[in-house]
Structure 1
Amino acid sequence: MNKSSLATRLSLMLSATVIVIFLFMGIALYHSLAMQIGTRDDAALLTRIDQIRTLLRDEDAITLIQQKPHLFANMLGNTESLLVLRFPGQPPLIVVNPGQRPLPAITPVAADQPLTLPSVHHLTNEDGIPFISAAALAPTHDGSGQIEIISGRLMSDRTKTMNNYRDQIILATTLATLLVAAISVWLVRRGLSPLRHLANEANAIDVRHLSHRMSDQVPAELQPLVAAFNQMLSRLERGYQQLSQVSADMAHELRTPIGTLIGQTEVALSQTRLVSDYQRLLGSNYEELERLARMIDNMLFLAKAEDASQEMDIQRIDLAQLSEKLQAYFDNMTEEKAMRLEMALHGEFYADPQLLQRALANLIANALRYGNRGTTIRVYSTKKPHGIELGVENHGPELGSEQRARIFDRFWRAETSRHQSSSGLGLSIVRSIMRLHQGKCEVYSEKGVNRFILLFPRDD
């Protein structure tokens, strides 16, 4: 199922936010206005009752009611009002009730009590229109007793006003929502234009343009994304260049032994040879095939070692035991080279035993291959504050800065012409093994001493 676009989602969220805000504001304003108008109407009703109270107290109530009944009707102000004057329990002296509404059954406020807002009673008629009413007792001027004043009003005007106000709020909210939706679509599309620009830049990058980098002239929110993408491009470019270089180096390295095999075989087959000649040819071909096998084995091991996802068999390694194994393995080789192997490995630490043994063996083999005859190869360990250092030191030709910079590269040899048997992969394997252990390898060369160092981080 296709997901909606970011612009659509942002526009909908902005529109929904506006609807909610306007809705809450409209509800709050509506209730605030309703309370204010209700309070005003209640106060107006109490004011009329209080005026009638004052009039009855200061005038002859009976005479006033008989002679000026219209005065009380005029005091109501509209045809939706109700007024009844009567002695308690007696027939009404005057009734003003144009709407013929039933009298509310309410308890009047005592004559000596002031009229307050809680004295107003609120009802709702069958049409849902509010009806307010209040009652009070008023002393007469001639002292003939107390007259009960009952007054009420149907709030049709207020209901109509509030309904109109509600409709205006709904209309304003709807229009505002539509306006914000339209504007938000435009603003969001404009705000997301840098993303479209980045997408176009990314779409233009392929294997032929891995050196291209995205522009960092983008909003601050997108700069971390651009920086991460550019870093990814740098890693891809380095990986692609390394892969291309490895492919070229492999083709070059494999072509030499294969060419040798083909050339020797063609010469041998060009005419009939003695059995001894064929034996020498097979022996030479066997050496070349061994070299190919070693190269392929190293390449497979290197590919496995550079796979960061592979699981390592991390164990606690006794360096003294490891030194005994290495000593026994290289005894014959050192004798052939008239060299001596001095092992000074001590202590314990955590690592993959097979990978560690392979790394040290490659360094020792390299030292035997390039070291001066009659010298000593020293293998040692040193504890450091940040971890443990393993070193292989030999005496031989001093390495220049360019050689030190490339010595761990694949298929690179310091003296190619003198060491054709070397595949140039041994030190690359060492570097890959150290990367798997989150460590690093370094090389130093001065005064005829070459020192290769493996730095393993602390295991605690």
Structure 2
Amino acid sequence: MSTNSIAMRLSALFTLVAMVIFLLSGWAIYCRVNKSLGLLPEAELDARYSVLESVLTRDGSPERWAKIVAKLKLLEEEDRRLHFWVVSSNPTFEYGTPDQQIRHFAQGPTGKRDLNRPGDRSPLRVLAVALPAIDQRPPLRFLAAIDTDSFSQTRQTLFMSLVSFAALGIVLTCGLGYWVARVGLRPLGNLSREAQKLAPPRLSGRLQLTSLPPELAQFAAAFNSSLERVDQAYSRLEAFNADVAHELRSPLTNLIGQTQVALTRGRSAEHYFEVLQSNLEELERLRSIINDMLFLASADQGSKATQLTASSLAEEVATTVEYLDFILEDAQISVRVSGDALVHIERAHLRRALINLLNNAVQHTAAGQHIDVHIQPRGDQVDIEVSNPGPRIDDEHLPMLFERFYRVDASRSNSGANHGLGLAIVKAIALMHGGNVFVRSQNGANTFGISLPA
């Protein structure tokens, strides 16, 4: 079990909370009881003196004093904690055989004070009272003392009990807290084991939400959503790898086949020139595929268009149409441009996107027809729409047309003029500019476009 596990952390937090609660509660109880214990000796001294006060102040004869002495002895015998002293100038009216320390203490102020006697573990709590002379009795100093050792022991016992109770409570809270955390986190462990079973290529499974607590159900739903995206990306990656292998295999096969045939026997210089010319075309195709794949890989890493220039989109489209003039002339297709907007773009990238859009339109437009390029501002964005007449594309294909190597007509998958990355590059360039792409197929026209921030 890792020291950083959630169960250990929760257990530590439970223990910390319990420690704070027990210590604060124990300290409050101890202070309250300690205060009460401190008042008990004084209360008992007051109670004892209230019983003796009347007899001490009523009569001052030696006969009456003898009865008082007997009363004091009886009280001391009944409660060993009590001690009485009477200090007087006349030894007849003294009690308790006061020594020099007691006589000195008696001359001090009246009231309740502590007296530390040699050999005692705790001080005596003493009530000192000055009694005036009466009849034959001279002025007296009456001392009533109580031993506080029992109260100190009670206080110490209480302190140790509270400390032991707090320590036991903390230990129990730690253990029970860890057990509760383990039980509470059991659904998370089950969820983890279930998630471990989801690995390529088995990504179609999903975490079950029915038996999970609300907090984990929310997490599992987010995980399932992420897993759905991963599953789709993994499927696209598998398809992409297969398409890449297929696209690269055709030119490589042609290169190898033509070279092997040329080397089977002696050939003329003209024949070797034709073979090299054909190989060069295949190599150019390979280079085009590789460059496009590298560009898309860079875009997937989050590359952004940085060298932005305020440009007229109509001028950029006109420049691109002029660049494709020979292709349009051979295909006997014309291009009509309408609208304009000033947008910050990276010209080289946008022209590449326009070339791909126009090439895509040319490949699906019959001779003698025309392609419409419409530039239209829409709020905070500008749309560049490239429309060509053609049969309607089924709705199921529309969301996939900007994916790599995707073609509606699979029979054209080996076309040397198109290797299926053109529209994917258009989408990548749009995203690099902070825009997006769109496609529509309606009213006898297919429209592919790019949206850019205005």
Q: How far apart are residue 21 of structure 1 and its match?
A: 2.5
Please list every run of 5 or more consecutive structure 2 residues that lacks an aligned counterpart in the other structure. none
> Cα–Cα, structure 1 residues 272 and 236, in superposed 2: closer, same or farther, change >3 Å?
same
Match of 2:235 in 1: 241
Check whether the contact 1:123–1:131 (CA below 8 A) recurs between aligned residues: yes
Indicate how the Cα distance of structure 1 residues 47 and 314 shifts in structure 2: closer, same or farther if over 3 A, else same. Answer: farther
Deviations 1:180-201 (A, max 9, x none): 3332332222222223222322
For residues 370-428 of structure 1, the C-alpha deviation after alignment (integer angstroms, 9 at most, x for no partner) is 22333333333322234332222222333222332331122223445565421111001
C-alpha distance in 1 between matches for 2:106 and 2:280: 123
Picking from 333, 337, 341, the partner of 1:343 is 337
Structure 2 match to 1:113: none
* 2:417 matches 1:424: no
Task: Report which stretch shifted further, 207-216 or 298-307.
Answer: 207-216
Structure 1 counterpart of 2:369: 375
- Report the equivalent of 1:114: none
| Percent of aligned pairs with the same amino acid | 29
Distance in 1 (alpha carbons) for counterparts of 2:309 and 2:272: 52
Which one of the candidate residues 157, 164, 171 is aligned to 1:171? 164
- Could you say what the CA RMSD is over the residues aligned between the two structures, in angstroms? 3.3
Of 394, 407, 410, 1:413 maps to: 407
Change (3 A) 1:405 1:13: closer
**Offset, 1:268:** 4.3
Structure 1 counterpart of 2:66, one-letter code: Q
- The one-letter code of the counterpart of 2:428 is S
Q: Give the structure 1 partner of residue 35 of structure 2.
A: 35
Counterpart amino acid of 2:332? A
Alpha-carbon deviation of 1:449? 1.5
Q: Using a 3 Å threshold, how does the CA distance of structure 1 residues 96 and 289 change in structure 2: closer, same or farther? A: same
Alpha carbons 2:383, 2:452 under 8 Å: kept: yes
Structure 2 residue aligned with 1:318:
311
Structure 1: distance between partners of 2:289 and 2:97: 115
- Contact between 1:317 and 1:350, CA under 8 Å: does it hold in 2? yes
- String of CA shifts for 1:217-248, please: whole Å, max 9, x gaps: 32233334323333332232222211111111
Which residue of structure 2 aligns with residue 112 of structure 1?
none
How many aligned residue pairs are there? 446
- In structure 2, the CA distance between the partners of 1:48 and 1:277, relative to structure 1 (3 Å rule), is same
| Partner Cα distance (2:123, 2:377) in 1 | 92
Corresponding residue of 1:297:
291
Q: Does 1:214 align with 2:207?
A: yes
- Alignment partner of 1:19 is 2:19: yes
> Which runs of 5 or more residues in structure 1 are unaligned?
110-118
Alignment of 1:1-400 (within 5 A): 3-60=3-60, 63-75=63-75, 78-86=79-87, 93-96=93-96, 102=102, 104=105, 108=109, 119-122=111-114, 129-139=122-132, 142=135, 147-216=140-209, 217-270=211-264, 273=267, 275-308=269-302, 310-313=303-306, 315-320=308-313, 321-344=315-338, 346-400=340-394
Give 3-state SS (helix, strand or coil) of 2:93's partner: strand
8 A Cα contact 1:61 1:140, kept in partner: no
Code of the residue aligned with 2:381 in structure 1: it is G
Q: 1:137 to 1:369 in 2, by over 3 A?
A: same
| Closer, same or farther: CA 397–291 of 1 in aligned 2, 3 Å | farther
Deviation at 1:205, TM superposition (A): 2.6
SS of the counterpart of 1:209?
coil
Letter in 2 for 1:382: Q
How many Å separate the matches in 2 of 1:186 and 1:174? 18
CA shift at 1:438, angstroms?
4.2
- 2:75–2:82 Cα contact (<8 Å) kept: no
Matching residue within 430, 444, 447 for 2:443: 447
The secondary structure found in structure 2 opposite 1:410 is coil
